[in-house]
Amino acid sequence: MSTFGKAVWSGGLKDGKGAISTKSGALKDYPYGFAARFEDGKNGTNPEELIGAAHAGVKAKTIALIGDGGAQLMIGELATAVEMQAHMVFVLMNDKGYGVIRNIQDAQYGGRHVYSNILTPDFALLCAAVGLPHVRVSDMAAFEPILDRALAAPGPCLIEVDMVAIGPFGASFAGPPAGAAGKTA
């Protein structure tokens, strides 16, 4: 099966802009960027989009940043990435729960945590079950060379970043401001 696609990107991660085109013409120079996916209360992309991008003939390897809570809902996507030998790297931030939900509960509900500290699977075993290469990072100094190896290797890989061992993010994302849902500008 031959696939064709084109992705163009210029600039940095947050300030850059890109465009995506597909052979079918369904997307033709479709604008893409950080703000369109992550700002103004948006949750970012989903694994299906990223697997599609990785399989669309784009030479650059796709990197999918995912959380451990959401990753539990995408076993099928991990298996699909392996089956299709998608040219991608999943970077899984594992804080042993729904970190964003926990942050929202801290910011808006006085730290009352309900259903945010969840049981998370052993992702090494989960990856082994679907044949997905897995590496766990518990020291940020090791992340860059591990990512470089994953980007150079054929097919998909999952890099699990152990946020419990590394420590919290420098800044917490706690969703949109309270009461912002449903408001229009």
- Based on the fold, state whether residues 3 and 65 are members of the same structural domain: no
Q: Is residue 185 part of a domain?
A: no
Domain membership of residue 126 as a residue range: 50-166
Q: Is residue 177 part of a domain?
A: no
What gap in Å lies between CA 111 and CA 66, rounded to an integer? Answer: 24
**Tens digits of residue pLDDT in 110-160:** 888 888 888 889 999 999 999 999 999 999 999 999 999 999 999 999 999
Torsion of CA 147, 148, 149, 155, to 10 degrees: 80
**Tens digits of residue pLDDT in 11-34:** 765 677 777 777 667 667 777 666
> What's the number of domains the chain is made of?
2
Structure-token match 């990435």, residue found:
81
Strand bridging mode 30-32 / 17-22: antiparallel
This prediction's pTM: 0.69
Q: How far apart are the first and last CA of the chain?
A: 46
Q: Is residue 112 part of a domain?
A: yes
The answer to whether the beta carbons of residues 173 and 100 sit under 8 Å apart is yes
Helix (H, G, I), strand (E, B) or coil at 34: helix
